[in-house]
A and B are shown apart, each in its own frame.
Chain A
Amino acid sequence: MSNEHDDLITRYIYAVTRYLPEKMRADVEKELDSLIADMLTERCGAITPTEKDIRVVLTELGTPEELAAKYSGDENGALISGGYFILYKRILRFLLPVITAVVAISGAISALVNTKPATNPLILAGQLFGQTIGGAIGGAFWAFAILTIIFAIMQRLHVGLTPQDDFFSRLRPVPQKRAEIKLIVPIVGMFWSAVLLIVFLGFPQIISVWLESGTWIPVFATSVIRSFWPLILLWAILGIAKQTVMLIEGQYSVRVALATLIANILILACTAVVFLSPAIMNPAFLSYLSKLLVGNGSAQLAAWAPHLGVGLFFIICFALVVDTVSTASRALRNKAA
């Protein structure tokens, strides 16, 4: 065999062993060397193998990557598989749309808010488009990457997903058709909690009224709203936690009803502190509203204008009560059935 042919074999063996753990390499190298020599002898007998013979023999062994995979036992290895994959797919399916939408919306809002009023509409449209689409793609990419990394690590470390011993106690009753919670319900819920967080903490000034004089009056006192950030954050977290319970349970169960009740009580407390605070509304907006109502001949209503925050509180209060009662009644109906 000429050196050139030897070189082909040497390079092939090197290409295989470089994928293998260091302690295996020398032995596999020797083994492959001996195997290839045997295969060539089988093929050519006493005749010196040509380069073509060597190529045929090496092709028979497969590509270096394939052979290395067989040696390392990772042939059918997967980053995420089995039970991990099932859960991964399920989480990805709701996480991806929520994160994408939330990041896209915050991108759009931030483009709108940070643009100077005199900006050319075309440039504004470009910025809006860029921040929305760019944000959506970036958000989706990060969510995908981080979730994948977490699951790959979990699989590598064999983190137990659920206790193996007693799965019987975890088997849930089959829900009545009407008691099933469709995946979209918690997704929409989480989405709104996130939007609420972004708007109230990031850009409360976008909730505003446009005057014919060409100016905007924010409805809320921006700095006061922002000073309540821990409560607003808690509000969103409670909302998302409630949706998470719904997502995991998959049906209107007593647990969902209890989680909703507790979350809604706490949300109500947060709402009370924020909206019953006298400084929460923008005074300029309140006096504008007052004037507007007086102008329309509703002087009596105008007298109530300063208490707009209280009104908003009661509206939210009503929505929370409806949510709690309807969830509880569905859960009870499901339980009774």
Chain B
Amino acid sequence: MNKDEIVSGFLLELRRGMVILCVLAKLQESTYGYNLIAELADTGIAIEANTLYPLLRRLESQGLLISTWNTEGAKPRKYYHATSLGVEVLSALKAHWQTMTANMNNLLED
């Protein structure tokens, strides 16, 4: 296994945990999956559809998100937004994230 493969493997693990935080943060406002991918991409966070869609479904089954089919547009779209539990989980995760990044920055700067 060469260096690039090792790096991309670790990167994948790092991202996996982060994605949930991204999704919960973004879904304070209601939107549909594909638009979420585009919005995240605009902020420099790349997430693939085949990862996001199953993730949205999993978060919904955990009660963190709620979805509704919107059939008013040209094609039906499934809109997601965070539930109150989702918001609570987000704020808890956010606090952990901030501590973690601060600690990590300290560690990495040494």
A residues apposed to B, CB below 8 Å: 28, 30-32, 34-35, 37-39, 42, 60-62, 66-67, 70-71, 73
Contact = CB atoms under 8 A, between A and B. Distances in A.
B3 to A, nearest CB: 24
Max chain B C-beta neighbours (<10 A), residue from A39, A42, A70 = A70
A96 to B, nearest CB: 31
Interface in B57-80: 57-58, 69, 75-78
A176 to B, nearest CB: 41
Interface string B40-69: 000000001111011001100000000001
A67 B58 contact: no
A71 B61 CA distance: 12
Contacts of A31: 33, 53, 78
Interface of B: 32-34, 38, 48-51, 53-54, 57-58, 69, 75-78
A35 B75 contact: no
Given A31-B53, A66-B50, A39 B76 contact: no
A34 B75 contact: yes
Given A30-B69, A30-B76, A35 B54 contact: no
B66 to A, nearest CB: 14
A71 B75 contact: no
B58 A73 contact: yes
B48 A60 contact: yes
Given A30-B69, A35-B34, A73-B58, A61 B77 contact: no
A67 B75 CA distance: 22
Contact of B53 (A35, A42, A66): A35
B51 to A, nearest CB: 7
Contact of A38 (B34, B51, B57, B58): B34
22 contacts: A28-B57, A30-B69, A30-B76, A30-B78, A31-B53, A31-B78, A34-B32, A34-B75, A34-B78, A35-B49, A38-B34, A42-B34, A42-B38, A60-B48, A60-B50, A61-B50, A66-B50, A70-B51, A71-B53, A71-B54, A73-B54, A73-B58
A70 B32 CA distance: 19
A39 B37 CA distance: 11
A73 B76 CA distance: 25
Contacts of B78: 30-31, 34
A60 to B, nearest CB: 7
Contacts of A67: 50, 54
A54 to B, nearest CB: 15
B33 to A, nearest CB: 6
B49 A39 contact: yes
